[in-house]
């Protein structure tokens, strides 16, 4: 951690904050404070440099044109890539997830270079959009409960040899490749298609990021009744017959 306070960086809220993904920043911040941890949140707009001294970086989803603009500015800025090289944790959603890969298809129908922080390549699906609730089993190495979220994307993301699937779907299409994968991660860089916001539905993901930033194996317990009620509601809604 930097100094004695956890530094949380929310990247480009003016471009990438679709479907309430900024709620992820609120959840990480709240769960840190519930445990008495000092936390400083920095919201970085797209006309501002990305600081390299953050501990946790969060990126949300966005429409096609804002995604292209965000990728262009992040490549030119270089701050996020330098932060990852210094050991920072990154959690990205949907368009942000695609930006962290090697390339994606932009709003002009062209291949757009990503940041190469995840070994994934995203293309555009030809069929119906991936829309609806998702239930998935998170990679056992991460020791997290079942993932619940909401997907709404046209993209298809293929994992390269150094990327691990974040989760395996029971319900929903995840990466859209038909192999049951959802999201990807490598080291301290994570990506998912899950909205919700995903950390309100799955607060243990926020706790995972905090543990990585603090370099600890466990955190003090906190009151999870609200989160567990929301999880139970969304899991039940996803699994009940139509």
Q: Is residue 78 domain-resident?
A: yes
Domain annotation covers residue 1: no
Please say if 153 is a catalytic residue. Answer: no
pLDDT in tens, 25-65: 999 999 999 999 999 999 999 999 999 999 999 999 999 99
Tell me: is residue 35 an annotated ligand-binding position.
Answer: no
Q: Domain of 136: which CATH number?
A: 3.40.50.880
What's the confidence (pLDDT) of residue 2? 44
Q: Is residue 140 part of a domain?
A: yes
Residues 80 and 144 sit within 8 Å (Cβ to Cβ) = no
pLDDT value at residue 242: 60
> Residues 102, 153, 158, 195: which is the catalytic one?
195
Residue ranges making up the domain that contains 32: 6-238
The reply to whether 187 falls in a domain is yes
pLDDT band at 239 (very low <50, low <70, confident <90, very high): confident
Instruction: Report the domain count for the chain.
Output: 1
* pTM to 2 decimal places: 0.95
Write down the catalytic residue from 94, 130, 153, 158.
Answer: 94
Q: Is 195 a catalytic residue?
A: yes
């Amino acid at each position: 951690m930097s100094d004695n306070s956890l530094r949380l960086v929310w990247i480009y809220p003016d471009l990438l904050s679709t479907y309430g993904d900024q709620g992820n920043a609120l959840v990480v911040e709240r769960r840190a404070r519930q445990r008495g941890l000092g936390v400083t949140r920095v919201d970085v707009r797209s006309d501002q440099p990305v600081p390299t001294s953050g501990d946790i970086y969060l990126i949300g989803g966005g429409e096609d044109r804002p995604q292209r603009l965000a990728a262009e500015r992040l490549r030119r800025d270089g701050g996020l890539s330098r932060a990852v090289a210094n050991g920072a944790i990154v959690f990205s959603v949907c368009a942000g997830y695609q930006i962290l890969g090697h390339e994606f298809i932009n709003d002009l129908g062209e291949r757009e270079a990503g940041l190469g922080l995840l070994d994934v390549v995203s293309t555009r699906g030809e069929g119906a959009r991936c829309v609806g609730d998702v239930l998935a089993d998170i990679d056992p190495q991460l020791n997290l409960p079942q993932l619940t979220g909401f997907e709404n994307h046209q993209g298809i993301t293929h994992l390269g040899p150094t990327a691990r699937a974040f989760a395996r779907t029971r319900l929903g299409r995840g990466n859209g490749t038909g192999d049951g994968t959802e999201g990807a991660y490598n080291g301290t860089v994570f990506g998912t298609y899950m909205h919700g916001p995903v950390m309100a539905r799955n607060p243990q993901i926020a706790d995972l990021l905090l543990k990585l930033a603090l370099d600890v194996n466990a955190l003090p317990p906190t009151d999870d009744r609200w989160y567990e009620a929301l999880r139970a509601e969304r899991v039940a809604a996803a699994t009940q017959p139509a």
